[in-house]
């Protein structure tokens, strides 16, 4: 064959193998025998080996796994991959339903889907070709696992339409694949995976894609990244049908429900049928179906208000309490934990369970040596449900909480209105260690390479006494630590130096002030602008800030009145740590722009901005971005393939801009 004929044959083979693979792995309806498929694949492999320039990124031969990776790169999600709020019973679902109806009325329906117990993934396609696959990570930034995901045969390397799109879904390991994998590992004397979810996650995080290729993973796609409206879709159910049309593997057990009663019937049905499935599920996902109603309901900082995950009741098992372990947190709270005879619960081996506090231990009368019933709260956190009193030994004695701190031996106190015992010694090693680990964590100062073990070594070696000492560390100090080479030491010093440039809200959250979480730290930083201003704030100034209540205000005032705290913040400032808010605080009343006081709707696909970027920029200039077009809408920004919202805007005579006009106004 000449070059032109070879190119034509490669195109034919690619097309046939994609079609046959889709029929086999997605539709579960093979159209040719394995022998014919293998024959065509081998022909393609032979041509590609002799003509490397004819190996295309979406070639079926690329599923076998390429070279070993050096590490995983970071991927920033265009739209956050949020987690869902949980419901554990019918009352939780009724509350969710009432909240939705209070905002969008009664004219809506739900769509229910099986909650696959796997690993959340994002798949990006450009002109129909798979280019980047990543994990959820922290919701904002994930890991690039493209080469591993290419080996998953239910993921199309080329879509049936040449469009650019992001698909989100769950990568999982079927029950049969899990059984076979653990059987093979047992024969080799290797450690077994605890459950299919862990096995799937472990497979996707292998640096050798050939290992992932051997694990027989699969996927279900459950959403379009951003909004399906960019593709002229009005609802989640339409989006799932469209994903089917593009060649993705979606779960067809989904069902539209007109009200919460039908949702409960769906849940009851799948609670019974769950064991029959060839894959693991841990609940049901319920979503308001229409996109305009989803946008009207909006989001909290962590999850959408238009969706909730019902979690199946936790599995309960019996085991023995061997001991009680006590840990001291960064705020001095002493938390008791039951040390258990290891037992399998909901697919994982459990050896510890939270006892919460002294009152719970007394209320349930939990004692060392007791046989107890345990379960995973929400299938995640093990807890003791109750004691089997009829199996208690005669010489059993009640458990007594200590009177002194297990870490520093200072006397423990119980503050008025609290159930927890607390160590109030500011020099307590455990508190300093926990506090420093929090300070360097990802959501606080984000000092990479400074985990709990490194923090503990720094404190025990007297290299640091508090968080301000981190900024005095040098490479020659760090190389003395166990398992800390020169390269790691250099990286850590660089990470510490980079953290000085963080905006104020990260520092404020990192200080670990009681009741002040990441969201509150952002609100306070935006309101007061600098640490100095916040430290001088009065009670009235604090309680008048949105989302800041009396309890948080009291905590802030008490914290900043402490002279040791004031000295600490001064040391951090002297070390060069930024004390100012670096974001943009918007006072809408003072803004004069074309967006001032206007209600704006974004629709269609934007090419040069993400939808979130456009929303933030418009709001920074005094506009309000909403999700649906009405008579109150002042302006519609229409990207490519804009659908029903554009049509409604034209019908109502509302001003419409394209993306170029938007960009011009944003840069004026």
Indicate which residues carry an active-site annotation. 115
Helix or strand (DSSP H, E) at 129? strand 129-135
Strand partners, 387: 372
By the 10 Å C-beta count (0-12 exposed, 13-18 middle, 19+ buried), 450 is classed as buried
375: β partners: 316, 383
Look at the alpha carbons of 478, 483, 485, 487 in this order and tell me if their dihedral is positive or negative. Answer: negative
Look-up: residue for tokens 């909240």? 99
As a residue count, the chain comes to 668
The response to whether 257 counts as a known ligand-binding position is no
CB 626 within 8 A of CB 602: no
Contacts of 263 (CB under 8 A, 6+ apart): 93, 110, 112, 257, 284, 286
Residue 36 marked as a ligand binder: yes
Full strand arrangement of the beta sheet holding 307-311: 85-87, 307-311, 281-288, 110-116, 255-257
What is the phi-psi region of residue 235: left when phi exceeds 0, alpha when psi lies from -120 to 50, beta otherwise? Answer: beta
476 annotated as belonging to a binding site for a ligand: no
Binding site annotation covers 112? no
38 is in an annotated binding site: yes
Q: How far apart are CA 434 and CA 426, in angstroms?
A: 12
Task: Give the Cβ contact number of residue 453 at 10 Å.
Answer: 12
- Count of other CB atoms within 10 angstroms of residue 547: 11
Question: Is residue 197 marked as binding?
Answer: no
Burial 188-223 (b: 16+ CB within 10 A, else e): eeeeebebbbbbbbbbbebeebebbbbbbbbbbbbb
Find out whether 413 and 424 touch, Cβ atoms under 8 Å.
Answer: yes
Q: Decide if 439 contacts 509 (C-beta within 8 A).
A: no
Q: Is 136 annotated as a binding residue?
A: yes
For residue 658, give every residue at least 6 positions away whose Cβ sits within 8 Å of its Cβ, in sequence order, or none.
637, 638, 639
For residue 170, say whether it is annotated as part of any ligand binding site. yes
Q: Crossing angle of helices 611-620/659-666, nearest 10°?
A: 40
* Strand 381-387 to 110-116 pairing: unpaired
Both tokens of residue 388?
């089997």
Residue 172 pairs with which residues in a beta bridge? Answer: 218
- Dihedral (CA of 613, 617, 618, 622) sign: positive
Identify any residues that bridge with 600 across adjacent strands, giving them in sequence order: 625, 635
β-pairing verdict for 371-377 and 348-354 = unpaired
Q: d(Cα 399, Cα 404) in Å, to the nearest integer?
A: 15
- Residue 450 annotated as part of some ligand binding site: no
Q: Is 505 annotated as a binding residue?
A: no
Please give the Cα distance from 432 to 329 (Å, whole number).
9
Taking a C-beta distance cutoff of 8 angstroms, is the pair 464, 447 a contact?
no
Cα 645 to chain centroid, rounded: 31
Helix/strand/coil (H/E/C) assignment for every residue in 267-308: HHHHHHHHHHCCCCEEEEEEEECEHHHHHHHCECCCCECCEE
User: What is the C-alpha separation between 652 and 642, in angstroms, rounded?
Assistant: 16
Binding site residues for NAD(+), as ranges?
34-38, 83-84, 113, 136, 170, 287, 311
Binding site residues, as ranges?
34-38, 83-84, 113, 136, 170, 287, 311, 405, 408, 423, 428
């Amino acid at each position: 064959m000449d070059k032109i004929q070879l190119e034509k044959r490669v195109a034919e083979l690619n097309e046939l193998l994609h079609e046959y693979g889709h029929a086999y792995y997605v539709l579960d309806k093979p159209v040719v025998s394995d022998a014919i498929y293998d024959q065509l694949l081998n022909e393609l492999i032979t041509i590609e080996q002799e003509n490397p320039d004819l190996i295309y990124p979406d070639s079926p031969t690329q599923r076998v796994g390429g070279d070993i990776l050096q590490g995983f790169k970071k991927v920033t999600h265009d739209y956050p991959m949020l987690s869902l709020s949980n419901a554990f019973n019918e009352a939780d679902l009724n509350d969710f339903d009432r909240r939705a109806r209070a905002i969008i009325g009664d004219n809506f329906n739900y769509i229910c889907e099986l909650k696959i117990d796997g690993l959340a993934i994002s798949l990006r396609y450009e002109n129909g070709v798979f280019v980047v696959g990543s994990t959820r990570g922290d919701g904002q930034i994930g890991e690039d696992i493209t080469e591993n995901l290419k080996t998953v045969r239910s993921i199309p390397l080329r879509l049936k339409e040449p469009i650019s799109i992001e698909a989100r879904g769950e990568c999982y390991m079927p029950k049969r694949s899990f059984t076979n994998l653990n059987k093979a590992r047992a024969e080799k004397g290797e450690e077994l995976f605890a459950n299919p979810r862990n096995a799937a996650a472990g497979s996707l995080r292998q640096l050798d894609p050939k290992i992932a290729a051997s694990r027989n993973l699969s996927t279900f796609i459950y959403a379009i990244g951003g909004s399906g409206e960019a593709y002229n879709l009005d609802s989640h159910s339409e989006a799932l049908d469209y994903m089917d049309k593009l060649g993705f593997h979606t779960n067809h057990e989904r069902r539209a429900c007109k009200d919460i009663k039908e949702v409960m019937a769906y849940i009851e049905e799948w609670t019974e049928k769950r064991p029959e499935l060839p894959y693991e599920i841990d609940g049901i996902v319920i979503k308001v179906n229409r996109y305009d109603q989803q946008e009207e309901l909006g989001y909290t900082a962590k999850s959408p208000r238009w969706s909730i995950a019902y979690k199946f009741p936790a599995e309960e098992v019996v085991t023995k309490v061997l001991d009680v372990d006590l840990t001291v947190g960064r705020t001095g709270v002493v938390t008791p934990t039951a040390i258990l005879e290891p037992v399998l619960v909901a697919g994982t081996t459990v050896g510890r369970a939270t006892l919460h506090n002294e009152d719970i231990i007394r209320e349930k009368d939990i004692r060392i040596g007791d046989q107890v019933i345990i379960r995973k709260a929400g299938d995640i956190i093990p807890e003791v449900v109750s004691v089997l009193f009829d199996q208690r030994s005669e010489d059993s004695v009640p458990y007594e909480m200590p009177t002194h701190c297990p870490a520093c031996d200072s006397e423990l106190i119980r503050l008025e209105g609290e159930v927890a015992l607390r160590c109030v010694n500011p020099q307590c090693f455990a508190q300093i260690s926990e506090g420093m680990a929090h300070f360097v964590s990802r959501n606080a100062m984000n000092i990479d390479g400074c985990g709990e073990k490194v923090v503990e070594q720094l404190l025990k070696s007297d290299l640091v006494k508090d968080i301000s000492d981190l900024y005095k560390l040098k490479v020659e100090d760090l190389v003395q630590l166990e398992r800390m080479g020169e390269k790691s030491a250099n990286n850590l010093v660089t990470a510490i130096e980079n953290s000085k440039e963080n905006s104020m809200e990260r520092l404020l959250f990192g200080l670990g002030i009681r009741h002040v979480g990441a969201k509150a730290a952002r609100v306070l930083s935006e309101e007061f602008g600098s640490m100095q201003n916040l430290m001088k704030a009065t009670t009235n100034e604090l309680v008048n800030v949105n989302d800041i209540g009396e309890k948080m205000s009291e905590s802030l005032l008490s914290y900043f009145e402490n002279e040791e705290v004031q000295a600490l913040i001064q040391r951090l400032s002297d070390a060069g740590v930024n004390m100012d808010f670096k974001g943009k605080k918007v006072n809408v009343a003072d803004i004069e722009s074309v967006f001032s006081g206007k209600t704006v709707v974004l629709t269609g696909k934007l090419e040069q901005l993400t939808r979130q970027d456009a929303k933030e920029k418009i709001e920074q200039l005094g506009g309000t971005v909403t999700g649906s077009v009405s008579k109150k809408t002042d302006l519609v920004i229409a990207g490519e393939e804009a659908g029903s919202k554009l049509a409604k805007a034209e019908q109502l005579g509302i001003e419409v801009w394209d993306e170029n006009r938007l960009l011009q106004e944003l840069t004026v």
